[in-house]
Amino acid sequence: MRISNGLKIAAIYASVFLGAGFASGRELMVYFTGFGRVGIIGIVLAGVLFAAVGVAVLTICRKNKITNYNEFMGLVFGVRLGTIMEILVVAFLFCLFVAMLAGAGATGREAFGFSFSAGAAIVAGVVFLVLCFGLEGIIKVNLILAPLMLLGGIFIGLFTLFAGTVPAFLSFAGTGRGFGLVWVLSAIVYASYNLVTGIPILAATSKMAATKKDARLGGILGGGIITILGISMALPLFLYQANVINLEIPFLYIITRHGFGFRVFYLSILISAILTTAACNGFAVNEWLKTRGYTNSVKSAAVICILAVALSHIGFSNIVAFVYPLFGFLGLFKIIVILYRGVTA
């Protein structure tokens, strides 16, 4: 029972990070593979941060009997600073929702020949329907799609790696950006902005961490799963880096080379990642609005979806490259404080 609880926490924790940016390969190219060989070390470093913060958050919540994000922020940062951080986090959650719709627009255009607007609008419509069912809809979507995303992502990455005609390790030159320690900062920023959304999920699932073993297992395994998945999907990008460097969905180009069946399988993983991440972020924003007096959840969900579709035209690559890092520094501050609290807890 204890191990199963830890595994449940780890699976939920890891699935949070597998959004369109990760599954498309775009995030991996921007923050890791462009630095050459050290990009792989960067993925490991990010995984260690995911594991350490996961254990710290779950330990703090278990020791203080915390079961939600508001209580966690109040304890760690104080009421006033915690409220400010909460508002910034909600802003980032909305930006992630916009990014997922941008990813949907790019996927529809590159994979199916739809217009960008049509792809974004279709996913927004599906998310709206999910939000109409509230928490129950979110749980069902994640139970169905999370295993497909995690296991399918590892399989796709390893298959495309070993099916390549050139050893991936000969293609580790990168773009030359890896000189010095810039790759370290890139890995930290990547982990930081992802943990902005990962920490609320951990706080919400902490009630399953009945023992210290559950807390440690959930955090460490969650970080380990993301590390394995990241390396599995990053290695093939080295093989085709020159061909995919300017593509919004680089993995789509890679997997298409291996036949129609694998293309369909990959697209199912990518679309699942987009839908689950978009639904979770949209739900979080909608729930926050509910606490601020907007009790008509259906109406507020509609407004969120329409506004996000309009803003998605900023472009998926632009959001990943420029908007995400801005929130990375917010996440870095949270990481430092949480790790300190976790060590002293």
DSSP 171: G
Residue 335 amino acid letter: I
- Domains held by the chain: number: 1
> 159 CB contacts (<8 Å, ≥6 apart)?
258, 262
Distance CA 26, CA 37 (A): 17
> 211 CB contacts (<8 Å, ≥6 apart)?
2, 62
Going residue by residue through the chain, which has 345 residues, state the pLDDT in tens, using 9 for 90 and above: 444 677 878 877 887 777 767 777 888 888 898 888 888 999 999 999 999 999 999 999 888 888 777 788 888 888 888 888 878 888 888 988 998 899 889 888 888 888 999 999 999 999 999 888 876 777 677 667 777 777 777 787 777 767 654 554 455 555 545 456 888 989 998 998 888 878 887 887 787 887 888 888 889 998 998 898 888 888 888 777 777 777 777 888 888 877 888 888 888 888 888 888 888 888 888 878 887 777 678 889 999 999 999 999 888 778 777 777 777 877 888 888 888 887 776
Phi-psi bin for 247: left (phi > 0), alpha (psi -120 to 50), beta?
beta
Give the CATH number, domain containing residue 71: 1.10.4160.10
Length of the chain: 345
**H-run or E-run covering 301:** helix 297-311
- The CA distances from residue 297 to 69, 134, 287, 300, 302, in Å, are 20, 9, 8, 5, 9
Please report the pLDDT score of residue 120 as a whole number. Answer: 92
Distance CA 315, CA 27 (A): 14
pTM for the full predicted model: 0.80
Distance CA 335, CA 345 (A): 15
Please report the pLDDT score of residue 121 as a whole number. Answer: 94
Please report the pLDDT score of residue 2 as a whole number. Answer: 44
Contact criterion met (CB below 8 Å) for 327 and 199 = no
Residue range of the domain that includes 91? 2-344
Please report the pLDDT score of residue 180 as a whole number. Answer: 66
